[in-house]
Amino acid sequence: MALVLLIFAWPAAAAVEIRFHSKDFGATFPHAFVVLEGTLDATGELIEANYGFTVRHLIGPSILFGPVQGEVISEGRAYIEGSNLHFSMALTDDQYRAVMGVVEQWRALPQPSYRLDRRNCVSFVAEIARTLGLEADPSGLMRRPRAFLDRVAERNRTLLAGGASEAVAPGSR
Helix (H) or strand (E) holding 22, with range, is: strand 16-22
pTM attached to this predicted model: 0.84
Which residue pairs, CB below 8 angstroms and at least 24 apart, start in 56-60?
56/114, 59/29
Which residue pairs, CB below 8 angstroms and at least 24 apart, start in 74-79?
74/49, 74/50, 75/30, 75/33, 75/50, 79/23, 79/28
10 has a pLDDT exceeding 50: no
154 or 27: which carries more pLDDT confidence?
154
d(CA 84, CA 66): 29
- Amino acid 122 reads V
Do 96 and 16 touch, CB atoms closer than 8 A?
yes
d(CA 65, CA 164): 41
The pLDDT value recorded for residue 69 is 93
> Mean pLDDT of all residues in the chain?
86
Residue ranges per domain, the chain?
14-162
pLDDT tens-digit profile of 94-126? 999 999 999 999 999 999 999 999 999 999 999
The pLDDT value recorded for residue 64 is 75
